A and B are shown apart, each in its own frame.
Chain A
Amino acid sequence: MRFAFVLGETFSGIRRNLSMVVSVILVTFISLTFVGTAGLLQLQINQMKGYWYDRVEVAIFLCTDTSTTTSCASGPVTDGQRESIQALLDSSTAAPYIKSYEHESQEQALEIFQEQFKNSAMSGTVTAEQLPESFRVALVDPEQYEVVNELFSSMPGVEIVSDQRELLEQIFSLMNMASVIAVSVAVVMLVCAVLLIATTIRLSAFSRRRETGIMRLVGASKTMIQLPFLLEGVIAALIGALLASLTTWAIAEFFIGDWLTGQYPGTGFIAGVDALILIPLLLGVAVLLAALSSILTLRRYLKV
């Protein structure tokens, strides 16, 4: 009974104040969609990190006849140099960082090269001697590339230590930038939403001052008087958040999951399912902000 009455009051308030409530819904919707997009970008970054970091390796290229770097001044790598590199890879100094490694000889490198460029005219002209032999090292933690680089780059017979991760880092920093921008826009919009909710509640309280005046006089509790207004703000914000959740999910499912995955297969994109964890976040932000701004407004403009 009591609950039904509060809900009834809430909806009659929403009806009377419909245009304001709709604007609260829209502003919350747009601002939380920005929040959701930023969340999707972060999820995508994580997904790509997980996907690629397992696959990227640190390659320790060894000197060949054609190497030009100063570390290879003494000519191609000798058996002794190769063994000492391998010894270091097996040593207790490097072991904590290295998950596994493989030696790739010049012949194997040629095979891989010919496989990758089999449709190119180049594949016929390249010989095994032109390709460097290498150690392919998978790291325990891909972030610790620098340690491996320091250990091996100065060793004799090593031409260069290259980290395939560097390329990815550039993409990630670009995506991070985009999510920062999305969050900044979202923050400004959320401030708008909070102020709009406060104004809406204030208008609603003003338009129902007769009712609230009578409620006070007959001794209705603070909850009974204020809850309908609080719910009005929270419901409006919640509807906006639901729309934003739907949009965020649709972006993940159809744009990223279907379209982008179709365009760039094998990249490790997120899908709609991954976006689902953002929904509680969006709803939570909406409820929290709406409740907070409503309570502050009511404390000021609806005395009990």
Chain B
Amino acid sequence: MIRFEQVTKVYDRRSRPALQDVTVEFERGEFVFLVGASGSGKSTFIRLMLREERASRGAVYVVGRNVARLPSWRVPRLRRGIGVVFQDFRLLPNKTVYANVAFAMQVLGKGRAQIRKDVPEVLETVGLAGKERRMPHELSGGEQQRVAIARAIVNRPDILLADEPTGNLDPETSLGIMSVLDKINQNGTTVVMATHDDDIVNQMRRRVVELSAGEIIRDETEGGYRTDPAGTDPASIDPAGTDPAGTDPAGTDPVGTEGATA
């Protein structure tokens, strides 16, 4: 479904690469946690799949296509197959919940009848039935994130990318979001989630890929946030990672800087 082949990404020649020779493959229907400290390359990883960036070396395959080779007019089609959720929700503040989700269908030219059918369905899936008419500012953070998830999956993408979706939420709300993502995964969507939240990773027991300084230092199925120190080479664990949840303020996240590429 998603395959990275010796991918290196260099933003700035003077500093170290954001990703260094990364090779990894995610299967259809998998649920993968991408963990690692700030600046470990998680966001770059996600941006490469969306073709927000192009790999400096190596190839990124999404649904069998090398995204770097994609002509620019084909990029929208690639993105139609991928739903994305961010830490900062990115809802349109002047539109209702319903309109926010419908917007994602309208801009793809979907018909009115289909919108009327799909939007309530997907709002039901994320647990927001009955809140169609609310405005984003009237919702809690968790509810806003559910709207964002609804918007990301309303066009039925094969892949859902979530870049720290629980970063702004308290632990309890986060669990609610996780159950929504889990439900989406159960329906067959491949979910890749970058996160700092050790509780969630430990509870979910899914595949964990850990990045550090742009390299994959760990990849295990049903992994925890941090493996037993005896199990792996302790030297490879970033010392800054001891308190991972607090080390990534929203502002430093390259994907999280809204409007930077608009």
Contact = CB atoms under 8 A, between A and B. Distances in A.
Nearest to A217: B84
Interface stretch (B57-65, B100-108, B240-248): B100-108
B259 A215 contact: no
A1 B109 contact: yes
Given A213-B90, A217-B84, A218-B104, A1 B79 contact: no
A222 interface: yes
B78 interface: yes
Contact of A5 (B83, B109, B258, B261): B109
A304 B93 CA distance: 22
Nearest to A221: B76
A9 to B, nearest CB: 9
B258 to A, nearest CB: 7
A213 B112 contact: no
Contact of B111 (A1, A212, A221, A224): A1
A1 B112 CA distance: 7
B175 interface: no
B79 A214 contact: no
Nearest to A5: B106
B259 A214 contact: no
Given A2-B109, A5-B106, A214-B90, A220 B76 contact: yes
Interface string B52-78: 000000000000000000001101111
B76 A222 contact: yes
B262 interface: yes
A303 B53 CA distance: 13
Contacts of B76: 216, 219-222, 304
Contacts of A302: 262
Interface residues of B, number: 32
B135 interface: no
Interface string B80-96: 11111000001011000
B42 interface: no
A210 B258 CA distance: 8
B151 interface: yes
Contact of A219 (B79, B259, B262): B79
A225 to B, nearest CB: 8
A209 B93 CA distance: 13
A212 B258 CA distance: 11
B145 interface: no
A211 interface: yes
A219 B77 contact: yes
A25 B79 CA distance: 37
21 contacts: A1-B109, A1-B112, A2-B109, A5-B107, A205-B262, A211-B92, A213-B90, A214-B90, A216-B76, A216-B262, A217-B79, A218-B104, A218-B107, A218-B151, A219-B76, A219-B77, A219-B80, A219-B155, A221-B76, A222-B73, A304-B75
